[in-house]
């Protein structure tokens, strides 16, 4: 059984135990090739005791969080980092109440942090086109399961799901989008918006998929779970269902389900939680 790689909370808390460690991590992410003054382009700087970086040439002061979702935050970076961890690693989606207790911040602060983190994740999701090997399928999320028809043909919200698989066979990025139908045109539109032309798509042989994905390298066949076919995709769908429904059923009434799902901010896989600040 393949396992998703993730840092344990102990490892994570140790790695980012102080604001300085968090700042150094962000420094590496922001200035991969060394500091560059955003005002004059100079490479020469000094670090001030308040955590800011000052350009030696024009004396402009900047921070690792300037221009990111952490811009001018009063919350310590250690708490932000833990919030990233919980928001991205909790399959069911942590609530503001839980986060406020865990981080010892007010409910309002916790709510704001979750909102910013999800917004950053959504932005990254929008900007990211899937590449390489892609598992693709449609599913439904959010509908009642008692006495109702499930799967294709259901009246409930249909969702396209695509997950990219890395060279070691592990899931990398997940993209989901609600759709009115799974006809050829809709499938093609989703693929063109989310999957790079050079990608290889693996799916079952549903009739609209084959013509819709004809411009891609497309491997399709009869779905058989025993062969490991679409293994990660279905794992991710399960995670996404738990994540979305866990959040919505507690805090939102059924009528709001589609609104939240349309946000499709789900990036639950083995991503670095910090990347959302890049
Ligand atoms: Zn400068």
Mind listing the pLDDT tens digit for each residue in 44-70? 999 998 889 999 999 999 998 887 778
The Cβ-side half-sphere exposure at 185, using a 13 Å CA radius, reads: 2
List Cβ neighbours of 201 (8 Å cut-off, separation of 6 or more): 134, 136, 162, 191, 195, 213, 216, 217, 218, 219
- Give the per-residue pLDDT at 167: 83
CB 156 within 8 A of CB 223: no
CA of 43 from ligand 1 middle (Å) equals: 8
**Mean pLDDT computed over 7-20:** 88
- The region of weakest confidence among 112-121, 123-132, 255-264 is 255-264
- Cα separation, 208 vs 200, in Å, equals 17
| pLDDT per residue as tens digits for the range 218-253 | 998 877 777 777 888 888 777 777 666 544 333 333
In DSSP terms, 174 is beta-bridged to: 163
pTM above the 0.85 mark?
no
CA of 28 from ligand 1 middle (Å) equals: 19
CA of 54 from ligand 1 middle (Å) equals: 8
| pLDDT per residue as tens digits for the range 82-118 | 998 888 776 667 899 999 999 999 999 999 999 888 8
CA of 44 from ligand 1 middle (Å) equals: 8
CA of 32 from ligand 1 middle (Å) equals: 18
210 pLDDT tier (thresholds 50, 70, 90): very high
Of residues 155 and 107, the one with the higher pLDDT is: 107
- Give the per-residue pLDDT at 119: 79
- Give the per-residue pLDDT at 125: 66
CA of 50 from ligand 1 middle (Å) equals: 18
CA of 36 from ligand 1 middle (Å) equals: 8
CA of 34 from ligand 1 middle (Å) equals: 14
Q: Which of 140, 138, 151, 141 is nearest to 230 (CA)?
A: 138
Name the residues around ion ligand 1, CB cutoff 5 A.
37, 39-40, 42, 55, 57-58, 60
CA of 47 from ligand 1 middle (Å) equals: 13
CA of 130 from ligand 1 middle (Å) equals: 37
- The region of weakest confidence among 3-7, 115-119, 187-191, 261-265 is 261-265
Of residues 256 and 144, the one with the higher pLDDT is: 144
Q: Which of 38, 84, 70 is nearest to 275 (CA)?
A: 84
260 pLDDT tier (thresholds 50, 70, 90): very low
CA of 41 from ligand 1 middle (Å) equals: 6
Residue 256 scores a pLDDT above 50 = no
pLDDT, averaged across the chain: 77
Phi, psi torsion values for 91, nearest 5 degrees: -55, -35
- Give the per-residue pLDDT at 3: 43
Residue 259 scores a pLDDT above 70 = no
269 pLDDT tier (thresholds 50, 70, 90): very low
């Amino acid at each position: 059984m393949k396992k998703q790689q993730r840092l344990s909370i102990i490892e994570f808390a140790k790695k980012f135990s102080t604001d300085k460690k968090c700042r150094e991590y962000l420094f590496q992410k922001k200035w991969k090739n060394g500091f560059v003054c955003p005002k004059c382009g100079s490479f020469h700087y000094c670090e001030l005791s308040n955590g800011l970086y000052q350009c030696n040439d024009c004396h402009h002061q900047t921070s690792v969080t300037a221009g990111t979702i952490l811009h001018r935050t009063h919350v310590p970076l250690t708490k932000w980092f833990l919030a990233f961890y919980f928001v991205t690693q909790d399959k069911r989606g942590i609530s503001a109440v839980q986060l406020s207790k865990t981080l010892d911040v007010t409910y309002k602060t916790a709510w704001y942090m979750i909102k910013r983190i999800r917004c950053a994740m959504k932005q990254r999701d929008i900007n990211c086109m899937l590449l390489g090997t892609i598992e693709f399928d449609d599913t439904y999320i959010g509908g009642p399961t008692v006495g109702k028809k499930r799967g294709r043909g259901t009246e409930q919200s249909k969702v396209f799901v695509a997950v990219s698989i890395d060279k070691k066979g592990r899931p990398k990025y997940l993209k989901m989008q609600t759709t009115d139908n799974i006809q050829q045109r809709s499938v093609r539109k989703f693929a063109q918006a989310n999957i790079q032309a050079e990608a290889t798509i693996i799916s079952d042989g549903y009739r609209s998929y084959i013509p819709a994905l004809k411009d891609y390298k497309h491997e399709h066949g009869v779905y058989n779970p025993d062969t490991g076919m679409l293994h990660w995709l279905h794992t991710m769908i399960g995670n996404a269902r738990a994540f979305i429904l866990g959040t919505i059923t507690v805090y939102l009434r059924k009528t709001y389900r589609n609104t939240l799902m349309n946000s499709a901010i789900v990036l639950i896989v083995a991503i670095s939680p910090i990347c959302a600040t890049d």
